[in-house]
A = this chain, B = another copy of it.
């Protein structure tokens, strides 16, 4: 009786995640404009209305994908930071990892940082993985740096600008390394 319900709920949760990963794979393979509710439904082998029993609409699916992405990005940044100790080197590593993430998963990155969203950033209801991403940048600055949050915001913004302008072909994708080196050299908090 209750075991059956449990199985049902388990299956439902699996299907929930299936939809999210299918959306993400489709987006990464053909871009978000190819992610239509029809194609997505076909891909998960259910009809369209099933999607709406899991998510309030297409936006909610994108949002779910993006939150998955925040978790992965946070882990990716953290790994980079811990692998390269020392404040200056850590910052460089984290920034490089960030751009790497953006260029290797452009569709996921778009869902997270470009597409319209109502996810709250820098707010009490901010999803923890998102906060964790930001904190990786903050942690690259000295704890006694009173403006490290501001520094992190600016660094993050600059990286985002670089990522998004090169992804849309507005700045040439080569010399990405040069741009990053210059940015770090100027923005790290350990002068010299």
Chain A residues with a Cβ under 8 A of chain B: 113-114, 116-117, 121-122, 147, 150-151, 153-154, 156-162, 164-165, 168-172, 175, 178-179, 182-183, 186-187
Q: Quick one: closest B residue to A120, CB to CB?
A: B169
A183 engages B154 (CB within 8 Å): yes
A182 engages B150 (CB within 8 Å): yes
B171 engages A121 (CB within 8 Å): yes
Residues in chain B near residue A186, CB distance under 8 A = 186-187
Q: How far is the CA of A165 from the CA of B164 in the complex (A)?
A: 11
A154 engages B182 (CB within 8 Å): yes
B121 engages A150 (CB within 8 Å): no
Residues in chain B near residue A122, CB distance under 8 A = 171-172
Give chain B nearest CB distance to A153 CB in angstroms: 6
Q: Quick one: closest B residue to A123, CB to CB?
A: B172
Residues in chain B near residue A116, CB distance under 8 A = 168
Among A113, A117, A170, chain B packs the most CB atoms within 10 A around the CB of: A170
B182 engages A151 (CB within 8 Å): yes
B169 engages A165 (CB within 8 Å): no
Q: How far is the CA of A114 from the CA of B113 in the complex (A)?
A: 12
Among A161, A179, A186, chain B packs the most CB atoms within 10 A around the CB of: A161
A160 engages B168 (CB within 8 Å): no
27 sample A-B contacts, Cβ–Cβ < 8 Å, listed by A number = A113-B165, A113-B170, A114-B164, A116-B168, A117-B168, A117-B169, A117-B170, A121-B169, A122-B171, A122-B172, A147-B182, A150-B178, A153-B171, A154-B179, A154-B183, A156-B165, A157-B158, A157-B161, A157-B162, A158-B161, A158-B183, A161-B161, A161-B162, A161-B164, A164-B164, A186-B186, A186-B187
A179 engages B161 (CB within 8 Å): no
Residues in chain B near residue A162, CB distance under 8 A = 154, 157-158, 161
